[in-house]
Amino acid sequence: MNLTKAREAYRNDPQYHDLVDVLVGQIEALEMTPSEVREAGVFACILLAERRVYPDVSCSEEYKRRVLGKFVGGPDVEEPEH
C-alpha cells in the first residue's frame, strides 16, 4: 500500500472516502484487529469473484485448429470427429 496515494484518494475520491469511513466505523464497533480486517477484506473479494459470471468463451473448431494446432488432450479430453 502506498500511504501517500491512499491519503490522496481519501481526500479526492468520494467513494474511496466513504468506504474507508464505513470500514473505520465497523472496525471500531466490532473491535477488530488489523489482521482480521485484512483477512475479511481478502475473503470478501474472493466471495465476490466466485459469484461473478464470466462470459462464454466457446471457440469455433477453426479457431481451435489454428490456435491449438496439434494439441493432444489427456484421457478426459474428447477427440474431435473428422
Q: How far apart are CA 58 and CA 61, in angstroms?
A: 10
Give the pLDDT of residue 77: 60
Residue 78, pLDDT score: 63
Q: Give the pLDDT of residue 71.
A: 63
pTM above 0.75, yes or no: no
Res 69: pLDDT: 72
Residue 73 located in a structural domain = no
Q: Does 22 map to a domain?
A: yes
Torsion of CA 53, 55, 56, 61, to 10 degrees: -150
Cα separation of 25 and 10, whole Å? Answer: 15
Each residue's pLDDT, cut to its tens digit, for the chain (82 residues) gives 799 999 999 999 999 999 999 999 999 999 999 999 999 999 999 999 999 877 777 777 777 777 777 666 666 666 666 5
Residues of the domain holding 44 = 3-68
Nearest to 62 by CA among 80, 49, 44: 80
- Whether 34 maps to a domain, the answer reads yes
Element (H, E) at 68: helix 61-68
